Copies of this chain bind each other. A is one copy, B any other.
Amino acid sequence: MPTSARTYGQFCGLARALEIVGERWSLLVVRDLMLGPKRFNDLQATLPRIPVSILTSRLNELEESGVIRRRVLSQLDAGVVYELTEYGSELDHIVLDLGLWGARSLSDPKPDDAFSIDTAVLSLYTTFREEMAAGVHINYELQYLGGEMVLHALVDDGAVKVSAGSLPSPDMVIEPQGPAMFELLNGGLSPQEALSSGKVRIEGDPADLELFTRLFHIPPAPEAPTGLTIH
């Protein structure tokens, strides 16, 4: 009997949802599949700390509950990919919202924290404020880790499309040093200071960096999440 089927014993939609995607690692698997189908080893790569046995269990459970689907590729490839079903895809906005909520108590990355290109792509989707993008048309290319990780964001009148890879002729190239992008997004670092301190290098009009921080933003947490409570 592979599946745990630990239940909460409640007749409640939230409890049911947590029985489906509430297990440890489950939502991270869903997140990784949001950007497209992936192989078993791809998932292992973007989830470095997941034990293989757990990944196997999660994939089976998510498949049984109709969140993901396993698809066998042609015999030439001799492989299997996992992809979200339509039902699973409808977690998209929940995952993004929860990611934004969590980003508000995110502190600076530890040296060995994993940071994949998928995370970078999703962070832009997560923090995009469409109400600030009405009538805006601009293309950004981002270069993380000294150009080792490149992605781009196409802002097109209230919508955004983010993908991995370079861009032929971007309006602006942004190259954050270390966690500078995160500080830029959460408002801890102003665009001006980012440039003058050298924490962010750009190609293009500095005004477009200011626009960037309005288009992509993590609102501050209402209370200090590190607050010490006096008992």
Q: Which residues of A contact B (CB under 8 A)?
A: 6, 8-20, 22, 24-25, 27-28, 31, 47-49, 63-66, 69-70, 85-87, 90-91, 93-95, 97-106, 109-110, 112-115, 119, 122-123, 126, 182, 218, 221-227, 229
Task: Verify B10–A114 contact, CB threshold 8 A.
Answer: yes
Query: Besides A13-B101, A66-B223, A69-B229, 6 other CB < 8 A contacts?
Result: A11-B114, A20-B102, A66-B105, A70-B229, A87-B104, A93-B97
Residues of chain B within 8 A of A47, CB atoms compared: 10
10 residue pairs bridging A and B, Cβ less than 8 Å apart: A9-B114, A10-B119, A11-B110, A12-B102, A12-B122, A12-B123, A14-B31, A16-B102, A17-B102, A65-B105
Contact B14 A28 (CB under 8 A): yes
Q: Determine whether the beta carbon of B102 is less than 8 Å from that of A15.
A: yes
CB neighbours (8 Å) of A25 from chain B are 8
CA distance A114 to B222 in the complex (A): 34
A86 to chain B, nearest CB (A): 4
Q: Is the CB of B27 within 8 A of A22?
A: yes
Complex: A31 Cα to B14 Cα, angstroms: 8
Structural contact, B99 and A222, CB atoms closer than 8 A: no
B residues near A99, Cβ cutoff 8 Å: 12-14, 17
Question: Which 6 A-B residue pairs are closest in the complex by CB-CB distance?
Answer: A17-B102, A13-B103, A13-B99, A16-B102, A86-B222, A66-B225
CB within 8 A of A94: which of B22, B90, B98? Answer: B98
Contact A224 B66 (CB under 8 A): yes
Assess whether A8 is in contact with B28, with CB atoms less than 8 Å apart. yes
- CB of A100, distance to nearest CB on chain B (Å): 6
